Structure 1
Amino acid sequence: MARYTGADCKRCRREKTKLFLKGSKCDGPKCPIEIRPYPPGMHGRARTKESEYLLQMREKQKAARMYGVLEKQFRGYYEEAHRSTGKTGENLLRILETRLDNVVYRAGFAKSRDMARQLVRHGHLLVNGVKVDIPSYRVREKDIIEVRQRSHEMTPFVVARAEAGERTVPAWLEAIPTQMRILVHSLPARQVIDTPVQEQLIVELYSKN
C-alpha cells in the first residue's frame, strides 16, 4: 500500500499553513512553521509567480495532505463527488469528513489523523458492533463507533478520556469519552466543516482534465 513516509512538517511549510499533522506539536512554539514560515528547500524563500493553476494545485495538495489521502484515491473521491447530486466541492469535503479515521480524530480520540489511522488499522474500533480496520471506511448517519472494550486502557484512549472537552467536536458528531463511543447524528453540511479549504479551486483544477 502506498503511503507518504517523509517529514510531515515539510508538508505544512510547503502549503504555508498548519495542517495539524503532528498533534500537540502543531500548537506549541516548536512547530517548524512558526520558526521557518516559508517552503522547504534551498529556493524556499524565493518569490514564485502565483498563477491560477498553481493556486488550484496548492489547494488540492493542501486538502489531500490534511486528510492524508494520496492522489489516486483523492481523484476517485472527486469523481464520486462529481457524479453525486449537489455541488461537487461540497460533496468532496463531505466524503473526506466521513472517513472513519477523520471521525475518530474529530471526536478527540486521537491527536492527529495519522494517529487515528493507526488506531483504526490496528483493529481497535467497532462500527455498529463490527470491527472495522479500514481507515477510508465511510460512516453513515446513525452509525455508532466505539473502542473495543479490551482496548479502553491503552495509553491513547486513557489520554483521550483525560483530555476530553479540550477540542471542539463538530455538531454532527457526539463523543462520549466515558464510554469511548462516537455517535454520528447526521452527515456534515458544508457550513459545519471548518477545514480551511477553498473546494471550488479543486473543482476547477480537475474539471480541466
Structure 2
Amino acid sequence: MGAWIMQGLEESRGLGAERSSAQQRRLVFEHTIEGLFRISLRHRLSALAWQSLREAGLDLSRPLAPAYPYETWKRALEISVADLYPFLPREEAWRRMGRDVVDGMMRTVLGRAMVGVSRLLGPLRSLRRLNNTLRSADNYVESRLTELSPTSCEVWINEVMEQPSYYQGVLEACLTLAGGREIRTRLLSRDGRGARFHVEWEE
C-alpha cells in the first residue's frame, strides 16, 4: 500500500509539472492570427507564402484554433516579412509588419472596440493601457511604461522576437490610432529577450 501511495504522489507531481508547463506555453490568440492573415494580408501574400505558412503549421483554409504556439507565430511573421518586403532593409521590413499586425487586429470585432477607446483616451492614456493591449494579443508579452513628459515615454517590452523594430511599428500604429502625430520611436537598449524604447509624439 505504501508503494501505491508513493506511486500516486509521483504521478501527481508529474501531472502538476505537465499542467505548469502547459500554463507557461507562449501562445498567440486566434483574433491576432485572424487580424493579420485574414484581414490585413489576405490579398497581399503570394501563393508560395500561403504554402509556406501551411507547412509552418498555420493553415488558413481551415477554421482557426483558439491559440497558436509562439514558434508558429514567429515563423509565420518571418515568412510574411520575406514575402511582402524583400527589398527593404530588414529593420524597416519588420517595422512595417508591426504596423500590419495592428492594422489587422484593429479591424477585428475586439479590435474595433479597442480603437474607439484609444481615440477617446488619446496617446498618453492609451500607452498607460499598453500592457493590457499587448496581453489581448497573446499570453506572454508584457510592457512597462515610464512617463517622461505629456508627449514622451520610455517603454520596456519583455519579448521582441529578436526584432525590436517590429515593436517600433506596433507602437507607432497604436499611437496613430490614438490620435498621435509626428510619432518617433527609438531603440534605447536590448534587455535579454526584451528591449527598451523611447517614444514621442505631437498632440
- Normalised by the length of structure 1, the TM-score is 0.30
- Normalised by the length of structure 2, the TM-score is 0.31
Task: Select the structure that is richer in strand.
Answer: 2
Computing the radius of gyration from Cα coordinates, the structure with the larger value is 2
Task: Select the structure that is richer in helix.
Answer: 2
